């Protein structure tokens, strides 16, 4: 019988207390529980893979790693000897890392290069912030001491150590997920031709399911957030649900301030049975897939889809005997689509061949598209969330087997800006391909097929501001950006980050000069939605107070803010709109002042207008 990879143990741990816990102690708690669940000891483990924490992922050159060698430190904490181990592995940054580790080591155990593998990960951001807020400045030093003894033991780093953005994108303020993902979200909405109100409804409906799962009796003890919210409340800004980056409220974003750890034990079916693991505890790895999109968002001709997801999901599902092109996703009994932001779920459904309407219908049929409640509600522990989803898949498979039901579950992880993708299929029964050898598609071949099939967009010239089409303004004035086509946008904001009415204006350029300008709509204070021009007077009430601001421009960008009107009549505002339509734009070189927020505009390669808002007063916190 050919070797088949199986998960024989799993554990996830959410620390909800007020105390300060170290990442290593959290990780050890979860790993020890996973070992106990499997019935195996640390002495039987020959390989340890740890998902790199956010603080240890090398994101900040100024911040020294807390744990130079977390796998070795963990091994020692669990009572093993790190120097005796065959392999110690730490991943680079990326939310795909847990599933990527499972995929890689599933092949390793099948090929005999590894025996019993412990895979684990942790984040203790909540404890870190609790320590800093409480004045405990020595907490990190104490954590660092935990890893001091094992720092020189050899280890291997896994994954790609490369920033997820271009320098030009970083200069435009798009280096953080809460800045870049709204570009992808609005790109998708623009390409689909959906109105903002209908898209808010879609996002609310998608995350309503996540919220429902998170507060369920099965998941509540694991979930970081336990309040049940309506779909409308999730997308509506409020005192407890502030804007993060338009169109995202806090409830639509991953919750990273958590103390959570999760672990699994991986080996082959034969080895597990020989070690005494009961057959009813085995969860089979049916398929694996890994692929990347073109690395930077501005290198993608169609940023509203994830081609890397499509190729990774296709490879994974084909190995599992579930051809997406033949409706294989309909045979899944559950899935956990990565949910850092709504657009990731939307792209994941599409990559599986499911429309958003079809996806939303699945829970009514008993097929969840989140096993945990997702990153916003279960908690988004940095790079390690997907390990929690994998453990949830193990738990669901086992409980269903006891109830006499079969499960075929899909899990995916996403790194950077829908850039790096890993997918897995798990089941209660041996895979359908078990008559032949278990064979994973070579990820390098998957990537080659992707890169041959998907053309890159033309590279940007970061030194040519006249070609820029993604802009950000600040309260100190000035604009910066990246891109290649079109444009102009204007908006004003009241103090405290509240939106006041603003005008969206599109300009088409030729040879670096604007040749045509037209008002395309307004950004209103009523729910923060974009409204077409014809509804301007109805949506914006005369009593609203506006913050004075001036026109601003840069390169081919020009804009005008509805300003200094106080309680003027709506007719005056319409007159102002008409004056903008009648002229090419405001004078150049005027400052953009009086705002407490950032507006970023993007134009995709096919010319659709993308935009979102990020208030300065909130952007620093997630």
What are 380-412's pLDDT values in tens digits?
999 999 999 999 999 999 999 999 999 999 999
Under the banding of pLDDT at 50, 70 and 90, the label for residue 457 is: confident
Q: Residue 192: its pLDDT value, please?
A: 82
Written as six digits, the tokens of 74 are 């963990």
Q: Residue 588: its pLDDT value, please?
A: 25
Prior bond to 247 cis, omega within 30? yes
* Residue with the two structure tokens 């924490």: 53
Cβ atoms 380, 256 nearer than 8 A: yes
Under the banding of pLDDT at 50, 70 and 90, the label for residue 547 is: very low
Written as six digits, the tokens of 536 are 């301007």
Say which residue, 197 or 514, is predicted with more confidence. 197
Q: Residue 433: its pLDDT value, please?
A: 59
Q: Residue 208: its pLDDT value, please?
A: 98
Domains of the chain, first to last = 5-166+252-453 (3.40.47.10), 465-619 (no CATH)
Mean pLDDT check: name the lowest of 30-39, 121-130, 135-144: 135-144
Residue 294 and residue 302: Cα distance in Å, rounded? Answer: 11
What contacts 28, CB < 8 A, 6 or more positions away?
Answer: 74, 77, 78
What contacts 414, CB < 8 A, 6 or more positions away?
Answer: 95, 96, 309, 338, 340, 344, 348, 420, 421
pLDDT over 50 (residue 39): yes
Under the banding of pLDDT at 50, 70 and 90, the label for residue 246 is: low
* Residue with the two structure tokens 């997801």: 309
Say which residue, 207 or 533, is predicted with more confidence. 207
Digit-coded pLDDT (tens) for 155-186? 999 999 899 988 766 665 567 888 788 778 87
Q: Residue 460: its pLDDT value, please?
A: 52
Measured in whole angstroms, the distance separating CA 224 from the mean position of its chain's CA atoms is: 17
Q: Is 555 helix (H, G, I), strand (E, B) or coil?
A: coil
Residue 227 and residue 377: Cα distance in Å, rounded? Answer: 9
Residue 546 and residue 539: Cα distance in Å, rounded? Answer: 14
Phi-psi region of 531 (alpha: psi -120 to 50; beta: other; left: phi over 0): beta
Cβ atoms 439, 456 nearer than 8 A: no
Residue 358 and residue 360: Cα distance in Å, rounded? Answer: 5
- The average confidence (pLDDT) of the chain is 76
Q: Residue 459: its pLDDT value, please?
A: 58
Residue 378 and residue 392: Cα distance in Å, rounded? Answer: 11
Cβ atoms 102, 390 nearer than 8 A: yes
Q: Residue 96: its pLDDT value, please?
A: 98
pLDDT over 80 (residue 120): yes
Q: Is 124 helix (H, G, I), strand (E, B) or coil?
A: strand
Burial state string for 348-379 with b = 16 or more CB within 10 A and e = fewer than 16: bbbbbbbebeebbebbeeebbbbbbbbbbbbb
DSSP codes of every residue in 69-123: THHHHHHHHTT--GGG-SEEEEE-S-TTHHHHHHHHHHHHHHTTS-SSEEEEEEE
Stretch 304-317: mean pLDDT: 97
User: Using a CB cutoff of 8 Å and minimum separation of 24, what contacts does 81-85 make?
Assistant: 82/150, 82/153, 83/153, 85/45, 85/46, 85/47, 85/48
Q: Residue 569: its pLDDT value, please?
A: 30
Q: Is 50 helix (H, G, I), strand (E, B) or coil?
A: strand
- Residue 423's beta-bridge partner residues? 289, 412
Say which residue, 447 or 589, is predicted with more confidence. 447
Give the number of residues written for the chain: 622
Kindly compute the dihedral angle of the four CA atoms of residues 539, 541, 546, 551, in this order, to the nearest 10 degrees.
50
Cβ atoms 406, 400 nearer than 8 A: yes
pLDDT over 60 (residue 581): no
What contacts 434, CB < 8 A, 6 or more positions away?
Answer: 1, 2, 4
Stretch 2-17: mean pLDDT: 96
Residue 50 and residue 441: Cα distance in Å, rounded? Answer: 23
Cβ atoms 285, 9 nearer than 8 A: no
Stretch 272-292: mean pLDDT: 98
Written as six digits, the tokens of 270 are 């034969």
Written as six digits, the tokens of 245 are 């980056």
Helices (H), 528-598: 536-539, 570-582
DSSP designation for 1 = -
- The most confident of the ranges 206-210, 529-533, 598-602 is 206-210
Stretch 43-65: mean pLDDT: 79
Q: Residue 436: its pLDDT value, please?
A: 78
pLDDT over 70 (residue 415): yes
Stretch 580-594: mean pLDDT: 26
- The most confident of the ranges 54-58, 76-80, 167-171, 477-481 is 76-80
Of the chain, the end-to-end C-alpha distance in Å amounts to 50
Q: Determine the angle formed by the axes of helices 97-110 and 385-402, rounding to 10 degrees.
A: 60
Stretch 451-477: mean pLDDT: 50
User: Measuring CA to CA, which residue among 544, 548, 533 is closest to residue 590?
Assistant: 548
Written as six digits, the tokens of 565 are 């009107």
Phi-psi region of 39 (alpha: psi -120 to 50; beta: other; left: phi over 0): left
pLDDT over 80 (residue 71): yes
Stretch 587-602: mean pLDDT: 27
Written as six digits, the tokens of 402 are 């006891």
User: Measuring CA to CA, which residue among 424, 51, 77 is closest to residue 262?
Assistant: 51
Under the banding of pLDDT at 50, 70 and 90, the label for residue 365 is: very high
Q: Residue 240: its pLDDT value, please?
A: 85
pLDDT over 90 (residue 9): yes
Say which residue, 527 or 91, is predicted with more confidence. 91
Mean pLDDT check: name the lowest of 14-23, 299-308, 481-490: 481-490
- Residue 509's beta-bridge partner residues? 514
User: Measuring CA to CA, which residue among 513, 522, 514 is closest to residue 489?
Assistant: 522
pLDDT over 80 (residue 582): no
Mean pLDDT check: name the lowest of 52-61, 99-108, 122-131, 459-468: 459-468
Under the banding of pLDDT at 50, 70 and 90, the label for residue 57 is: low
pLDDT over 60 (residue 495): no
Q: Phi and psi for 405 in degrees, rounded to 5?
A: -115, 150
Output the CA–CA distances (angstroms, integers) from residue 107 to 41, 87, 186, 313, 622, in the order listed.
22, 15, 38, 17, 37
Mean pLDDT check: name the lowest of 59-63, 304-308, 315-319: 59-63
Measured in whole angstroms, the distance separating CA 129 from the mean position of its chain's CA atoms is: 22
User: Measuring CA to CA, which residue among 448, 424, 397 is closest to residue 319?
Assistant: 424
């Amino acid at each position: 019988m050919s070797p088949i990879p199986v998960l024989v143990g799993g554990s996830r741990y959410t620390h909800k207390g007020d105390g300060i816990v170290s990442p290593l102690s959290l990780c050890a708690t979860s790993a020890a529980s996973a070992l106990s669940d499997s019935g195996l000891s640390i002495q039987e483990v020959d390989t340890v893979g740890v998902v790199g924490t956010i603080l240890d992922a090398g994101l900040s050159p100024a911040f020294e790693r807390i744990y130079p060698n977390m796998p070795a430190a963990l091994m020692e904490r669990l009572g093993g000897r790190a120097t005796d181990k065959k392999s110690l592995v730490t991943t680079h940054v990326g939310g795909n890392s847990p599933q990527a580790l499972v995929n890689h080591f599933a092949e390793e155990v099948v090929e005999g290069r590894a025996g019993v593998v412990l895979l684990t990960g942790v984040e203790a951001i909540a404890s870190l912030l609790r320590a800093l807020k409480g004045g405990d400045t020595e907490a990190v030093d104490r954590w660092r001491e935990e890893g001091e003894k094992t720092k020189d033991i050899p280890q291997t780093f896994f994954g790609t150590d490369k920033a997820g953005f271009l320098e030009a994108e970083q200069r435009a303020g798009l280096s953080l997920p809460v800045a870049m993902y709204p570009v992808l979200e609005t790109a998708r909405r623009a390409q689909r031709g959906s109105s903002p109100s209908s898209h808010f409804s879609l996002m609310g409906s998608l995350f309503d399911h996540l919220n429902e799962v998170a507060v369920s009796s099965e998941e509540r003890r694991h979930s970081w957030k336990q309040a049940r919210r309506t779909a409308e409340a999730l997308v509506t800004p409020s005192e407890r649900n502030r804007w993060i980056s338009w169109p995202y409220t806090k409830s639509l974003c991953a919750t990273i301030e958590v103390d959570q750890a999760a672990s699994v034990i991986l080996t082959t079916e034969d080895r597990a049975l020989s070690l005494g693991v009961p057959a009813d505890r085995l969860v089979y790895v049916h398929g694996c897939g890994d692929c990347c999109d073109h690395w930077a968002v501005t290198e993608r001709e169609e940023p509203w889809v994830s081609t890397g997801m499509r190729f990774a999901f296709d490879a994974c599902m084909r190995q599992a005997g579930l051809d997406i092109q033949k409706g294989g996703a309909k045979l899944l009994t559950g899935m956990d689509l990565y949910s850092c932001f709504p657009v990731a779920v939307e792209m994941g459904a599409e990559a599986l061949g499911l429309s958003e309407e079809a996806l939303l219908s699945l829970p009514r049929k008993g097929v969840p598209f989140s096993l945990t409640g997702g990153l916003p509600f279960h908690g988004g522990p940095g790079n390690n969330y997907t390990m929690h989803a994998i453990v949830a898949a193990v738990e669901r498979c086992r409980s269903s087997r006891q109830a006499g039901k079969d499960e075929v579950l899909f899990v995916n992880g996403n790194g950077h800006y829908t850039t790096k993708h890993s997918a897995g299929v798990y089941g209660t029964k041996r895979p359908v391909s078990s008559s032949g050898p278990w064979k994973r598609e070579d990820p390098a071949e998957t990537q080659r097929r992707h890169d041959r099939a998907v053309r890159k967009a033309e590279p940007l010239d970061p030194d040519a501001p006249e070609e820029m089409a993604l802009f950000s303004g600040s309260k100190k004035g000035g604009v910066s950006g990246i891109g290649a086509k079109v444009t102009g946008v204007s908006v004003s904001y009241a103090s405290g980050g509240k939106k006041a009415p603003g005008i969206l204006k599109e300009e088409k350029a030729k040879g670096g000069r604007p040749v045509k300008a037209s008002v395309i709509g307004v950004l209103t204070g009523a729910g923060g939605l974009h409204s077409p021009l014809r509804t301007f007077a109805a949506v914006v009430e005369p009593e609203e107070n506006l913050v004075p601001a001036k026109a601003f421009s840069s390169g081919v960008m020009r804009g005008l803010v509805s300003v200094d009107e106080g309680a003027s009549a709506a007719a005056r505002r319409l007159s102002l709109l008409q004056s903008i339509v009648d002229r090419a734009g405001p004078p150049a070189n005027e400052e953009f002042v009086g705002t407490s927020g950032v507006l970023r505009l993007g134009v995709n390669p096919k010319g659709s207008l993308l935009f979102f808002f990020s208030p300065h007063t909130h952007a620093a916190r997630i």
